[in-house]
Structure 1
Amino acid sequence: MTSSVYAYLEKPSMVDFPGKFSAVFFTSGCNFRCGFCHNASLMGRKRSGIDQEALELACTKFKHNWVNGAVITGGEPTLADDLPQLIELMKKYGFAVKLDTNGSNPGKLREVLPLVDYVAMDVKTGLSGYRKLVHFPDLGKISESIELIKAEAKDYEFRTTVIESLHTDALMDEVADVIAGSKRMALQAFIPRDNLPDKKFTVLPRTPSSRLQELKDRMAGCADEILLRGA
């Protein structure tokens, strides 16, 4: 029996799950087409996952190495049919579970929210910019997921990777509006790489710290806490 886990980081992470020493598991397949995606190899079609026995062996190894958290990321994990079973497996090993999502599948999100301990949803841009930036037209699903997380998640964050030339003040004002009243917002620096799926992003500059700080000040009040990452 195969799982939807396509790969995992060999070494535990201290940065992917706030407050946890975590194993990071990747599912494949995504319904967004972000030209700046750092996990581009997991975009597009779903790929065959590792078998259940190998997955459990990995969990056992992580448990013996003092891991206390598991991150399920992608790709887009809510496209995985066995997502509830994956979460239950991680729980069986005593891991707190963090789910990363793009918010495109509120139905599946609603199903698994009671099972997870932390949710990180990427708010890619203001809603008016979604079609152009990530080629996803169903803005109602994005809004529904945001409201669902604010209302029902045990702990959570929204996060936006800021590209200075694309994430204008107007678009970031839209982000602030749609997440208003939330617990935590993370503004992340865009870091160019040679292997990004759209080559035009490979030559864009890294987001300067000054722009992240400017947006933190501008968006003050939209969340209880605004974090800067990569500043």
Structure 2
Amino acid sequence: MSGVDSLRLDIAGFEPFSACDWPGKLVAVVFLQGCPWRCGYCHNFDIIGPTKPGVVAWERVLEVLESRRGLLDGVVFSGGEPTRQLGVVEAARQVRELGFQVGLHTGGAYPRRIEKLLPYLDWVGFDVKATPDKYAAVTGVPGDGSVALESLRTLVSAGIEVQVRTTLDPLVLDEDDILEIREQVYALGVTDYVVQRVRTEGTNPEYGRALEEYRSKASHGANDILPLV
């Protein structure tokens, strides 16, 4: 395979078998280091720093994948934000060359990288973080999420199978926000939209404390909201 020796990927972790990262598929998951956003509820908080080096060599991942031919359906690139790294495009090509399907977990922060990945993608788990007026409050950086919607439009227009997810951060979002996001993504042509509950495992400790304080004082919680969507 061409490009293996020169491919640079900062890989924060590798899961050789997963049944929950691509609905209905048995996959390996490659976690790429770094993310431009700082979502408080991110359960991979330890790997969002963009300057931290990877701990797994891509060559080692390929060796494992070679041995899993016929046993796995595909490979999911996750993060962090996997499209932050230039090498993800070549890595996806190599995975397809091995005969695996390619999945991606992304928040859509890099629309041009999404475009380059299109020839290799079979499925995308896409995170829409918030309504435009609350994107900065969730991600911790300026912006209204327009780059994310651009990426989502690109995927839907290309006919890629997409599941859109929103994590219900009760410190920022409410029921009306979830309904607005749902209508927005449906209007773009999305047919698979799910709402996820916040998990405190692996999150920023400061966020975890704030969430626990909120939950101790709130008169209602996610269970009151999620069944409505």
Counterpart residue identity of residue 199, structure 1: E
1:212 and 2:226 equivalent? yes
User: Is the 2:130–2:166 Cα contact (8 Å) retained in structure 1?
Assistant: yes
**Between 49-58 and 198-207, the greater mean CA deviation after superposition:** 198-207
Aligned to 2:74: 69
Aligned to 2:113: 108
Counterpart residue identity of residue 32, structure 2: T
User: Is the 2:124–2:163 Cα contact (8 Å) retained in structure 1?
Assistant: yes
Call closer, same or farther: CA 1:107–1:85 in 2, change over 3 Å: same
User: Is the 1:192–1:205 Cα contact (8 Å) retained in structure 2?
Assistant: no
Aligned to 2:96: 91
1:191 and 2:191 equivalent? no
Which aligned pairs between 1:83-162 and structure 2 lie closer than 5 A? 83-139=88-144, 140-162=146-168
Counterpart residue identity of residue 62, structure 1: R
1:168 and 2:183 equivalent? no
User: Is the 1:23–1:62 Cα contact (8 Å) retained in structure 2?
Assistant: no
% identical aligned pairs: 25
Kindly tell me the number of residue pairs found equivalent between the two proteins: 213
User: Residue 192 of structure 2: SS of its match in structure 1?
Assistant: strand
User: Residue 191 of structure 2: SS of its match in structure 1?
Assistant: strand
User: Residue 18 of structure 2: SS of its match in structure 1?
Assistant: coil
| C-alpha distance in structure 1 between counterparts of 2:207 and 2:62, whole Å | 40
Counterpart residue identity of residue 59, structure 2: E
Deviations 1:127-149, CA, capped at 9 Å, x for gaps = 11011121233332122112222
User: Is the 2:34–2:50 Cα contact (8 Å) retained in structure 1?
Assistant: yes
CA drift at 1:44: 1.9
Call closer, same or farther: CA 1:6–1:208 in 2, change over 3 Å: same
| C-alpha distance in structure 2 between counterparts of 1:179 and 1:23, whole Å | 28
User: Residue 68 of structure 2: SS of its match in structure 1?
Assistant: helix
Counterpart residue identity of residue 96, structure 1: Q
| C-alpha distance in structure 2 between counterparts of 1:24 and 1:184, whole Å | 21
User: Is the 2:41–2:199 Cα contact (8 Å) retained in structure 1?
Assistant: no
CA drift at 1:184: 0.8
User: Is the 1:101–1:119 Cα contact (8 Å) retained in structure 2?
Assistant: yes
CA drift at 1:5: 4.6
CA drift at 1:38: 0.3
Aligned to 2:31: 26
Structure 1 segments unaligned to the other structure (5+ residues): 217-231
User: Is the 1:36–1:198 Cα contact (8 Å) retained in structure 2?
Assistant: no
Structure 2 segments unaligned to the other structure (5+ residues): none
| C-alpha distance in structure 2 between counterparts of 1:99 and 1:205, whole Å | 32
User: Residue 17 of structure 2: SS of its match in structure 1?
Assistant: coil
User: Is the 2:12–2:31 Cα contact (8 Å) retained in structure 1?
Assistant: yes
| C-alpha distance in structure 2 between counterparts of 1:168 and 1:197, whole Å | 21
| C-alpha distance in structure 2 between counterparts of 1:96 and 1:192, whole Å | 31
TM-score by length of 2: 0.83
User: Is the 1:32–1:136 Cα contact (8 Å) retained in structure 2?
Assistant: yes
1:54 and 2:42 equivalent? no
